[in-house]
Amino acid sequence: MSALPTSSREWHLVARPHGWPEASDLALREAAVAAPGEGRILVRNLYFSVDPYMRGRMNDVKSYTPPFKLDHPMDGGAVGEVIASNAEGFAVGDHVLHGLGWREYADVPAKHAVKVDGSIAPLSAYLGVLGMPGLTAYAGLFEVASFKEGDAVFVSGAAGAVGSQVGQMAKLKGASRVIGSAGSDEKVKLLVEEYGFDAAFNYKNGPVREQLAEAAPDGIDVYFDNVGGEHLEAAISSMNVHGRATICGMIAQYNATEPTPGPRNLALVIGKRLRLQGILVGDHAALQPQFVQEVAGWLASGALKYRETKVEGIENGFDAFVGLLRGENTGKMIVSLDA
């Protein structure tokens, strides 16, 4: 066995951001690496995920995931290669998905690692299209929104990791019309030309309500909300009777320093008999086998497309995270350590 590394760089949260995170809120620090103890594996991370929910974990508030601890390594999804194993069923050279991202080397309890197969899809795809964001799209559309053939679907954040899959999955399952919104003309073009959306608009080009009404003249049956705010209000206005909204994320308010207003037209929920329901992907683990099977099939046939934005180098972890919040990504934002 070749010599194991003795140290690893890892990102720590050192101050809780107020509003937009600043570079001084995080620090890249050195930590010692030891051989794995009983039941553990040492993993060289190849890719780690930066996700919008991590912004919430930087606040010291009770939530569905605990806040990041100050002066401790941050964590999150990662894929890497086992370089030492002290656990049955894991061998050096195996590729695994686990939860100790934001660092070069991870000492992982084997029970919290899942082997992944690079022959089905590139390893980074297990952080995106075949991973947590993909399952969020799948569960949010088919289980939470009770999507059915013929539905007209609107998704915000449509060029992102979750949104780009929602729109394409709806098309694959017979949506009558799929509309997406995104934050640049280039992303809008991608939605229509590459992902097959029927219509798309740049929310920065004019009021969402007007652009959506124009893109969906017959209304929408399903709204998949990644953004909140003005988007949610516009979607409620455009929703047809018995419409369903999956409330997946509200990224427009993640860096807000004051409480943000709710939709002013919420009373429409009554007359239209709308259902607005939140999702937490963790509640839908039972769907995982079906999701992997179906999505792997779509990927193999080329029916489902995806993009990734890879930022190279652990030292660029903070920039990748803030870039994600600013919309610098197209598809899944990933930090690559695969140099």
Binding residues for ligand NAP (CB under 6 A): 51-53, 133, 136, 157, 159-163, 182-184, 187, 203, 226-227, 248-249, 251-252, 279-281, 324-325, 327, 329, 333
Say what the alpha-carbon torsion angle 140, 254, 21, 73 is, to the nearest 10 degrees: -40
CB of 25 to ligand NAP, least distance (A): 18
Shortest distance, position 110 Cβ to ligand NAP, whole Å: 25
Distance of CA 4 to the CA centre of its chain: 32
Q: How far is the CB of 336 from ligand NAP (least distance, A)?
A: 16
- Is 53 or 298 the residue whose CB approaches ligand NAP more closely? 53
What's the CA gap between 41 and 35, in Å, rounded?
Answer: 8
Q: Which two tokens stand for residue 305?
A: 């497309």
Q: Are strands 275-278 and 239-247 parallel, antiparallel or unpaired?
A: parallel
Question: What gap in Å lies between CA 63 and CA 123, rounded to an integer?
Answer: 30
Whichever of 118 and 327 has its CB closer to ligand NAP, that residue is: 327
Least CB distance to ligand NAP at residue 323 (A): 8
Give least dist CB 102 to ligand NAP, A. 16
**Distance from the Cα of residue 171 to its chain's centroid:** 20
Which residue lies nearer to ligand NAP by CB, 157 or 243?
157
Which among 291, 307, 133 is positioned nearest to 224, based on CA atoms? 133
CB distance 1 to 84 below 8 Å? yes
Closest of 36, 130, 27 to residue 77, by C-alpha: 130
Q: Which is nearer to ligand NAP, 30 or 204 (CB)?
A: 204
Our CB check for ligand NAP shows the closer of 107 and 225 to be 225
How far, in Å, CA of 28 to CA of 283, rounded?
33
Number of residues in the chain: 339
- Sign of torsion over alpha carbons 32, 36, 38, 41: positive
What one-character-per-residue DSSP string does 220-234 give?
EEEEEESS-HHHHHH
CB of 33 or CB of 129, closer to ligand NAP: 129
State the sign of the Cα–Cα–Cα–Cα dihedral 264, 187, 129, 141: positive
Beta carbon of residue 283, minimum distance to ligand NAP (angstroms, whole number): 8
Nearer to ligand NAP, 162 or 274 (CB): 162
Closest CB 226 distance from ligand NAP, rounded Å: 4
